[in-house]
Structure 1
Amino acid sequence: MNPETIRRRRWYILGVLTFSLLVVVLDNTILNVALKTIADPQEGLGATQSQLEWAINSYTLVFAGLLFTFGVIGDRLGRKRVLVAGMVMFGLASLLSAYSQSPAQLIGARALMGLGGAAIMPQTLSIITNVFEPQERGRAIGIWSGAVGLAIGIGPITGGLLLAHFWWGSVFLINVPVIVVGAVLIALLVPESRNPDPGRLDPVGVLLSIVGLVTLSYGIIQGGERGAWLEPGVLGPIAAGLAVLALFARHEARSDHPAFDVRLFRDPRLSAAVAAIALCFFAAAGMFFFAGFYLQSVRGLSAFQSGAMLLPFAVAQILFSTRSAAMVHRFGAKAVCATGLLLVAAALASYPVLGIGTGTPLWVLGAVFFVQGAGMANVMPPATESVMSALPREKAGAGSALNNTARQVAVAMGVAVLGSVLASIYRGELAERLAALPPGARTVAAESIEGAHAVAERLGAAGQGLIGPANAAFTEAMRTAAGAAAVIAFLGALVVLKWMPGRTAHREPERAERAERAERGTGREKARGRRAASRERTRV
């Protein structure tokens, strides 16, 4: 495909890549609204809260661990080719997830989905970086980021619609037709591109990263499940995970072909932007994980109603993501990104400050989701553009992988840490009521709010006294976890204000681009003058 054809089709190409990306992000947010159903022993798989956390984290950890590797593979074999292969893998794994017969099978199928997602995500952003010139790239990345935010918002209501009419596996089966359409459009419209000097693969780095993250997550989730953090079964995995991750960082710093190039963090613009993305998604991920349980189990909404409650988040994403490039141009990336993180922190802080609980008006929750969506819409585009513009074009795959690795690791850690905080506090708040239950029922009720409701239903009239305290315990735990998440988002804002370059630094690449175009124009004028003089001499 020649450069002029690519230039003419660039917005169509962006549309196709955005459509393909939607399925990857949409799947996780659809899953959030289906968690309650999957936890149900009759309608779902009877999964415990820790198994549900692993259903999310098996995807995100494999995804994060392999992003850099697939960025390099795409640079070497061709980004379009790897993108199509990733779509096929994602579609097959979605089929396996839809027809899983146990929580363990679902966790394994989700890991395969993470493999496909890792092949898809870095190719989309690196192709965008190669197709668009610097003066349009910010706008294109803003649209790409907006699609991520939109998928986060529309996923729950899509899941609610599916669960209202079909079984829980339909939330995965919906991926298949989207994958087919996306793969066909990619084959027809997207150009092939490669890095002329691709890196080498780093299997040792990939293995260390996955082992370290999985072990650390296991320890954190065990701490929340047991409600005791000082036991060897909790401290051992956490310490081992941290040690393996330290070994991973040391290996990557010394490798000439790292799977995750830690040396890129020497650039303060890049490192501050990555930190902003990571802290924002760490803070938000845990909230999305238990929002579905709060809306469905505590407030009694259906899956569809629960999904509709997140529409304000989607609306905010649409309104603000597409305008973020103009906001960055006017105020600078630092101001826009820091403001976005402060809005996220304010939205999360409203849970304990407003005392959101069992009787809070639903419009208040809608307003909170809107503010959170507006904040995240103003974090992702400027931070992503800062990451991509800090690297040369041939490193687009590495920049894309770095950006998405930070996001996925943050999601996994956010679900693990905030989910464990919530589980520990929930169990502590409900301790007196749990002591009065039979041992088997006590274990089930302690695992999750859905387990408590199931025990109350099984005990009949004798169990009705458990529902109110369980709901109160869950909302108290949710408020505490939200407060912790707000602190994390606020720390992200401080990092941005301290280290992300301001308005003047942001405009440096823009000035350089204008100067380069002017120089090219001057060169063409001189060339035309020389040709005209030569023709004049020929006539004489």
Structure 2
Amino acid sequence: MAGKYTGNAERMTWGQIWTLTVSCAAVALVVAAMAALNTALPDLARDTGATQSQLTWIVDGYTLTLACLLLPAGALGDHYGRRGVLVFGLFVFGVASALPILVDSPAWLIGARAASGIGAAFVMPATLSILTASFPAAQRSKAVGIWSGVAGSGGIAGLIGSGLLLEQWSWHSIFVGLAAVSAVLFALSFTIPSSRDEHPSAFDIRGGVLIAGAIGVFVLGIIEAPQRGWLDPLVLAAIVGGLAAAAVFAMVELRVAHPLLDVRLFRNRTFGVGSTSLLLQFFATFGLFFLIVQHLQLVLDYSPLQSALALAPIAVVVLALSVLAPLLIPLLGLRAMTFGGLTVMAVSLVLLGRLDETSSYPDVAVPLVVAAFGLGLCTAPATTAIVQNTPTANQGVASAVNDATREIGAAIGVALAGSILAAGYGQHIQPAVDAVPEQAEQPVGDSLAAALEVSKLAGPQGDQLAEFAKESFLHGMQEASFVLAGVLFVTAVVLGVWAPGGRGIATAPEPENADVLAEVD
């Protein structure tokens, strides 16, 4: 059936509801996979001997490859059909998720997670672009709001699901669960409609390579900085090289007839604010997850399930506010919701940094709920700002921009929080490292999880070592939280000034020669 979808603008059809359900389930899966292993980090460290740096890579290896390939994957969906890209992505994701069931060394885990990220890169933009093509304009904001709420809270679902699995089985069960769910969604994805650009241009291979390299090299530098030092030549070369590659990408895209991403879109203030806001939201959210899960398990001695359930209030608040967002946007507008949401999230990180060894769950719940209010307030408006200001024929790229900003932010957030935590912990724990036997120096200096294991074997001095290690962890967590909060406070003000004022969210007009979508049965 050629042309855009037309139908009842008041109520969703059963077909639309089914498409929304499958698309949201798929995006929930790949977002849940980002967070699922956070509950298992202590077990992974104990069972595999992974260092703090390797744990960071196990988490960030997934988000790194995912972020690198989102824009090329979104463009491929526009060219060849979004459902086909979704099916391919779910297949790759499922196979890669099953790999750690068979081989589980730290190096294999990092490789498998990176391969899973490749599959996820094809899934995420397809889910949103399928929705924007399946819903008329009058219903699109509602569908985008629901999708945004699911994408924003999917990490909590991953934490709770992994926590439930870890109550009965080892961390391998998390990968079994991810592979099984992806197999089910792989089959269901054949039942939803597809769409594509009816007159696709040549694929911009050069642009895809440049943007993948820019993101990968930049985040590599951030991740390696704690181990090598921020002034290490390799670290500086990676960070500067990533930024330079991004600049070259922008210049190349301005000169090609059919760019992978028309960077002129960022001249549109609404589009630019939405993209930057999403990057910052997930920068803060996944940095917070990385810190708080370890705090719950290692400092408060929660089980994986207890720590996951402790985070559940975030999902409830984010989903509720995302569903309400289509009603709030016409009243408050993009500027107020962006500035307010990011500022509230910054306050939550300040509160997180004030936790100490005497804090109980109510003390932890306050920053979590505050963060959820901030995230729920600004995530749906940001996504709406992007999709409403991109030509209809390029919705795959628009979805990829939406997803890429999320994943880049998440990768940088985890890397920065992890690096500052590791540096702060390592500096504060050094007197204990100097005092323990030589064979215990490395594990005590690597991570709190390893130090607690050493303390169990340290006899009468074990309790003292454990308390000092927890104090060192809290020192590093405080430094990381305050840095993340400072970044959000500053950027909230910048976006508040940059964002268009007024109510609602402005929509850019379609170009006169916009391509028409083909709806494929």
TM-score under structure 2 normalisation?
A: 0.91
Are 2:31 and 1:25 aligned?
Answer: yes
Q: Match of 1:533?
A: none
Amino acid at match of 1:480: E
Deviations 1:73-101, CA, capped at 9 Å, x for gaps: 11111111111111111111110133332
Are 2:186 and 1:183 aligned?
Answer: yes
Q: Match of 1:521?
A: none
Structure 1 residue 237, shift from structure 2 partner: 3.4
Q: Match of 1:403?
A: 402
Structure 1 residue 116, shift from structure 2 partner: 0.8
- Please give the alpha-carbon distance, in whole angstroms, between the structure 2 residues aligned to 1:134 and 1:490: 34
Alignment counterpart, residue 136 of structure 1, candidates 136, 139, 145: 139
Matches within 5 A, 1:435-514: 435-504=434-503, 506=505
When residues 256 and 64 of structure 1 are mapped into structure 2, their CA distance, relative to the original with a 3 A threshold, is farther
RMSD: 2.2
Q: Match of 1:315?
A: 316
When residues 302 and 504 of structure 1 are mapped into structure 2, their CA distance, relative to the original with a 3 A threshold, is closer
Deviations 1:305-331, CA, capped at 9 Å, x for gaps: 111110111121122111111111222
Alignment counterpart, residue 204 of structure 1, candidates 197, 203, 206: 206
Amino acid at match of 2:466: I
Q: Match of 1:214?
A: 216
Q: Match of 1:362?
A: 361
Structure 1 residue 4, shift from structure 2 partner: 6.4
- Please give the alpha-carbon distance, in whole angstroms, between the structure 2 residues aligned to 1:297 and 1:339: 33
- Please give the alpha-carbon distance, in whole angstroms, between the structure 2 residues aligned to 1:280 and 1:174: 27
Amino acid at match of 1:336: M
8 A Cα contact 1:35 1:292, kept in partner: no
- Please give the alpha-carbon distance, in whole angstroms, between the structure 2 residues aligned to 1:120 and 1:245: 24
- Please give the alpha-carbon distance, in whole angstroms, between the structure 2 residues aligned to 1:143 and 1:470: 42
Structure 1 residue 198, shift from structure 2 partner: 2.2
Deviations 1:469-515, CA, capped at 9 Å, x for gaps: 11011112111211111122223322331122223462678xx99xx
Q: Match of 1:103?
A: 106
8 A Cα contact 1:284 1:485, kept in partner: no
SS at match of 2:195: coil
Q: Match of 2:275?
A: 274
Deviations 1:425-474, CA, capped at 9 Å, x for gaps: 11111222222223442222111111211222243334432111110111
8 A Cα contact 1:280 1:492, kept in partner: no
Are 2:331 and 1:325 aligned?
Answer: no
SS at match of 1:323: helix
Structure 1 residue 34, shift from structure 2 partner: 1.3
Structure 1 residue 134, shift from structure 2 partner: 1.6
- Please give the alpha-carbon distance, in whole angstroms, between the structure 2 residues aligned to 1:376 and 1:98: 34
Structure 1 residue 246, shift from structure 2 partner: 3.4
Q: Which region of structure 1 is more displaced relative to structure 2, 483-492 or 497-506?
A: 497-506
- Please give the alpha-carbon distance, in whole angstroms, between the structure 2 residues aligned to 1:337 and 1:234: 32
8 A Cα contact 1:297 1:450, kept in partner: yes
Structure 1 residue 399, shift from structure 2 partner: 0.7
8 A Cα contact 1:74 1:81, kept in partner: yes
Deviations 1:333-375, CA, capped at 9 Å, x for gaps: 22122221121111111123xx201111211211221111121
SS at match of 1:193: strand
8 A Cα contact 1:273 1:496, kept in partner: no
- Please give the alpha-carbon distance, in whole angstroms, between the structure 2 residues aligned to 1:183 and 1:223: 38
8 A Cα contact 2:68 2:211, kept in partner: yes
When residues 192 and 221 of structure 1 are mapped into structure 2, their CA distance, relative to the original with a 3 A threshold, is closer
- Please give the alpha-carbon distance, in whole angstroms, between the structure 2 residues aligned to 1:117 and 1:257: 25
SS at match of 1:194: strand
Structure 1 residue 174, shift from structure 2 partner: 0.7
Structure 1 residue 213, shift from structure 2 partner: 3.0
What 5-or-longer segments of structure 2 have no aligned partner?
511-521
- Please give the alpha-carbon distance, in whole angstroms, between the structure 2 residues aligned to 1:214 and 1:508: 32
8 A Cα contact 1:154 1:310, kept in partner: no
Matches within 5 A, 1:53-202: 53-188=56-191, 190-202=192-204
Q: Match of 1:394?
A: 393
Amino acid at match of 1:165: Q
